[in-house]
């Protein structure tokens, strides 16, 4: 009979989700003398922190600003990001023993290269500050009552109903379901009539099917520094050919801006002109075969793969204007129409989510439901690859804590 009784708790808030946002929120609330309970569905907290950045956790980006976040309202994240800045992230972790080292493009990782150290900061601080964490506790629902909320959860095979004045929904997005990702945040938003912006996998590899697929497959494993663009954005980083399509940082970045049916464009030799390079080379070495020249510029495998698209068996001296034009357009404007993406199993984040229209940009409180807050990946704020998503998660956790 205990199953359906509601227990009045003395917590100031219940935080649903022991991920980046929820853990930061619990710690910051603790600093302010507030007591919180973190409910985590998995048997341990911080599962995504542990696998992030290949187990090394790219925990922020030195250049983070509102420009690297995608949202229906591009201004929404500004207040949160200014209340908890990159410097705040860096000094917070430094205070608790994590020194950052920049790998590339402002991406900061712990010097130890160990994401466990990041999670340990939060579990130690929660213990020191008396913030409770219950693992294996899956929240099933939230009811709004006169003095707050009733949170229903399942723990040890039993249903428990906890009454609390405030709730924080930090249950993350849909990527990697096998690691505990749920649609809880979206389900609750729907139940309370909050607008949800279309969700889709983002920072995700793109697939190629049909007659073009074997071409990509033969190049599997080849990585090339490129500029990848569409009509919205452009990124200069590596792309990686795989047996099912394209991956690598530049592809993950553009995937967040790609919609099914659209093309993406790839400059395989950014900031140089292949036509000019060939004209220079043929002055000195006109007998050189185009194949050998391209193999030198790229890889042999890549040059060979171009044999069905370019006259690679001609020598440089015999290339005519039309040849040079087709080389130029293939190298500098390689056109790709992905069939789709690898889905939530391979995506790093979810794009879309709870509409920012529903939240106060200053506090992240749901405008029409006082005492309910949304943070982290549930919200329609999606960062680029490179530590931006954690910066948003830490910052939103901090901001919510100020209001509890």
Ligand X SMILES: Cc1cc2nc3c(=O)[nH]c(=O)nc-3n(C[C@H](O)[C@H](O)[C@H](O)COP(=O)(O)OP(=O)(O)OC[C@H]3O[C@@H](n4cnc5c(N)ncnc54)[C@H](O)[C@@H]3O)c2cc1C
CA 284 – CA 143 distance, rounded (Å): 78
Decide: 279 and 268 in contact? Cβ < 8 Å: no
DSSP secondary structure code for residue 299 in this structure: -
Residue of 34, 48, 282, 351 interacting with ligand X (CB under 6 A): 48
Distance (Å, whole) CA 15 – CA 27: 11
Among 14, 389, 399, 403, binds ligand X (CB under 6 A): 389
- Position of tokens 């542990």? 50
CB of 243 to ligand X, least distance (A): 20
Helix (H, G, I), strand (E, B) or coil at 221: coil
List the beta strands (DSSP E) in 66-205: 69-70, 100-102, 107-110, 132-134, 137-145, 148-155, 158-164, 166-169, 196-202
- Binding status of residue 172 toward ligand X by CB under 6 A: yes
Beta-strand relationship, 148-155 and 206-207? unpaired
Which single residue brings its beta carbon nearest to ligand X? 19
Interacting residue with ligand X among 13, 28, 36, 58 (CB under 6 A): 58
Tell which one of 77, 98, 139, 310 touches ligand X (CB under 6 A): 139
Q: Which is nearer to ligand X, 89 or 306 (CB)?
A: 89
Stretch that binds ligand X, among 98-106, 315-323, 354-362, 389-397 (CB under 6 A): 389-397
Identify which range of 10-18, 28-36, 321-329, 358-366 contacts ligand X by CB under 6 A: 10-18
| DSSP assigned state of 290 | H
How far is C-alpha 193 from the chain's CA centre? 26
Neighbours of 133 (CB within 10 A): 21
Give the interface segment with ligand X, choosing from 39-47, 63-71, 92-100, 233-241 (CB under 6 A): 39-47
| Residue 203 Cβ vs ligand X, minimum distance, rounded to whole Å | 8
End-to-end CA distance of the chain: 32
How far apart are the C-alpha atoms of 247 and 207, rounded to whole Å? 9
Choose the stretch contacting ligand X; rule: CB under 6 A; options: 174-182, 210-218, 222-230, 241-249: 174-182
Q: Hey, what are 245's tokens?
A: 């399509």
Q: Per rule CB under 6 A, is residue 188 in the interface with ligand X? A: no
The piece of 64-72, 180-188, 213-221, 262-270 that touches ligand X (CB under 6 A) is 180-188
- Footprint (CB under 6 A) of ligand X, residues 286-345: none
Nearest-angstrom CA–CA distance, 237 and 343: 22
Residue 100 or residue 172: which is nearer to ligand X going by CB? 172
What does the binding site for ligand X look like in residue numbers (CB under 6 A)? 16-22, 39-42, 47-48, 51-53, 57-58, 138-139, 170-172, 175-176, 180, 182, 184, 348-349, 376-377, 387-390, 393
């Amino acid at each position: 009979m205990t199953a359906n009784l509601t227990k009045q708790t003395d917590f100031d808030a219940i935080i649903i989700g022991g991920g980046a946002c929820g853990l930061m929120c619990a710690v910051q609330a603790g600093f302010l003398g507030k007591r919180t309970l973190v409910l985590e569905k998995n048997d341990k907290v911080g599962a995504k922190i542990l696998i992030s950045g290949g187990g090394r956790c790219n925990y922020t980006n030195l250049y983070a600003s509102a420009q690297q976040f995608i949202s229906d309202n591009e201004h929404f994240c500004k207040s949160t990001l200014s209340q908890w800045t990159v410097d705040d992230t860096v000094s917070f972790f430094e205070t608790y023993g994590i020194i950052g080292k920049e790998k590339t493009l402002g991406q900061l990782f712990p010097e130890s290269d160990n994401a466990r150290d990041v999670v340990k900061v939060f579990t130690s601080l929660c213990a020191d500050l008396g913030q409770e964490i219950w693992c294996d506790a899956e929240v099933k629902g939230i009811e709004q009552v006169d003095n707050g909320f009733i949170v229903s959860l399942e723990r040890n095979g039993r249903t428990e109903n906890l009454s609390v004045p405030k709730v924080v929904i930090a249950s993350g997005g849909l990527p990697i379901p096998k690691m505990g990702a749920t649609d809880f945040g979206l389900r609750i938003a729907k139940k309370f009539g909050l607008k949800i912006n279309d969700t889709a996998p983002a920072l995700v590899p793109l697939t190629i099917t049909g007659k073009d697929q074997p071409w990509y497959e033969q190049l599997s494993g080849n990585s090339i520094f490129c500029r990848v663009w569409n009509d919205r954005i452009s990124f200069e980083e590596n792309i990686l050919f795989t047996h099912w399509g394209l991956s690598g940082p530049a592809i993950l970045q553009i995937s967040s801006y790609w919609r099914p049916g659209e093309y993406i464009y790839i400059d395989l030799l950014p900031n140089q002109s292949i036509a000019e390079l060939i004209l220079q080379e043929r002055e000195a070495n006109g007998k050189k075969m185009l194949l050998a020249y391209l193999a030198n510029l790229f890889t042999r495998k890549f040059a060979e793969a171009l044999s069905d698209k370019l006259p690679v068996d001609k020598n440089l001296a015999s290339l005519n204007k039309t040849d040079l034009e087709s080389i130029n357009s293939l190298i500098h404007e390689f056109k790709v129409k992905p069939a789709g993406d690898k889905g939530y199993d391979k995506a790093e984040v979810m794009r879309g989510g709870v509409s920012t229209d529903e939240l106060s940009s200053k506090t992240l409180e749901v405008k029409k439901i006082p005492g309910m807050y949304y943070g982290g990946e549930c919200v329609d704020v999606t960062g680029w690859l490179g530590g931006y998503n954690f910066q948003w998660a830490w910052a939103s956790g901090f901001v919510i804590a100020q209001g509890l």
